[in-house]
Amino acid sequence: EPEVTQTPSHQVTQMGQEVILRCVPISNHLYFYWYRQILGQKVEFLVSFYNNEISEKSEIFDDQFSVERPDGSNFTLKIRSTKLEDSAMYFCASGETGDQPQHFGDGTRLSIL
Amino acid sequence: AQTVTQSQPEMSVQEAETVTLSCTYDTSESNYYLFWYKQPPSRQMILVIRQEAYKQQNATENRFSVNFQKAAKSFSLKISDSQLGDTAMYFCAFMYTGNQFYFGTGTSLTVIP
């Protein structure tokens, strides 16, 4: 069964550094999403992406965050200058259409030191 | 705004018994989708079951079934013949077409041998 693939599985970064989290969505999917889950808390929406542009973003997704689909297969989340509170599990998800279940990747655990 | 409420932070069940996890939601949308996701200790997000709001029939997936009460905005998950592998965090989620997921705070389920 096709899967959403995220790399790396664990990223450790110094505070203030830039980090790029990578995702390869399922190949025929058109809708892409990033979510965040701080340890012990619920999963929170960050951003959705469709037709090569952001379709929706949450209050969490401020100017420090950006997303890109650089080559038609990867979908990346960049955090420009990381803060301690950015430490969380980041999930990428993709959907074939807007009303189909989103398939989640296994997540990237981001640890900011 | 959409909200999803899971009022049971923790539950336990004996192996082979049945357990029901509750979820309520609030929305003004008429066409939407409801999901239950399972998150084991590995922290993957695994789709358990999905319900379309326009369908009156409750969804069933092997040992998992839902009780969808649209008027009451209730969407509970029943797990029959509980197995040790069912131990996980369970998240109820709401989505309307083309939009983000809204997750509840989760219910931690422990299956006791």
Q: Where are the beta strands (DSSP E) in A1-74?
A: 5-7, 10-13, 19-24, 31-37, 44-50, 53-57, 65-68
Extract the tokens encoding B109.
Answer: 């389920």
Query: What is the per-residue pLDDT for B98?
Result: 62
Higher pLDDT, B101 or B89: B89
Query: What is the per-residue pLDDT for A99?
Result: 72
Domain regions of chain B by residue span: 3-112
CB contact under 8 A, B45 and A99: no
CA–CA dist A82, B3 (Å, integer): 29
Confidence of residue B101 (pLDDT cuts 50, 70, 90): confident
Fold of A5-112: Immunoglobulin-like (2.60.40)
Query: What is the per-residue pLDDT for B64?
Result: 97
- Could you give the percent of chain A with pLDDT greater than 70? 99
Average per-residue pLDDT in chain A?
Answer: 92
Residue of A nearest to B5 (CA): A42
**Which chain A residues contact residue B95 at CB under 8 A?**
99, 102
Residue of A nearest to B43 (CA): A106
By the 10 Å C-beta count (0-12 exposed, 13-18 middle, 19+ buried), A83 is classed as exposed
- B101 contacts: CB under 8 Å, gap ≥ 6: A33, A35, A43, A45, A93, A102, B35, B93, B94, B95
**Which chain A residues contact residue B35 at CB under 8 A?**
101
Query: What is the per-residue pLDDT for A96?
Result: 87
pLDDT tens, position by position, A56-109 = 899 999 999 999 998 878 999 999 999 999 999 999 999 888 777 788 999 999
What is the residue-wise DSSP string for B1-69? --EEE---SEEEEETT--EEE--EEE-S-SS-EEEEEEE-TT---EEEEEEETT--SPPEETTEEEEEE
Fold of B3-112: Immunoglobulin-like (2.60.40)
Q: Are A43 and B4 in contact (CB under 8 A)?
A: no
Please check whether residue B103 touches A, CB under 8 A: yes
Please check whether residue B100 touches A, CB under 8 A: yes
Please check whether residue B32 touches A, CB under 8 A: no
pLDDT tens, position by position, B21-80 = 999 999 888 888 999 999 988 778 888 999 998 888 999 999 999 999 999 999 999 999
For residue A32, is pLDDT > 90?
Answer: yes
Query: What is the per-residue pLDDT for B63?
Result: 97
CB contact under 8 A, B98 and A99: yes
Confidence of residue B97 (pLDDT cuts 50, 70, 90): low
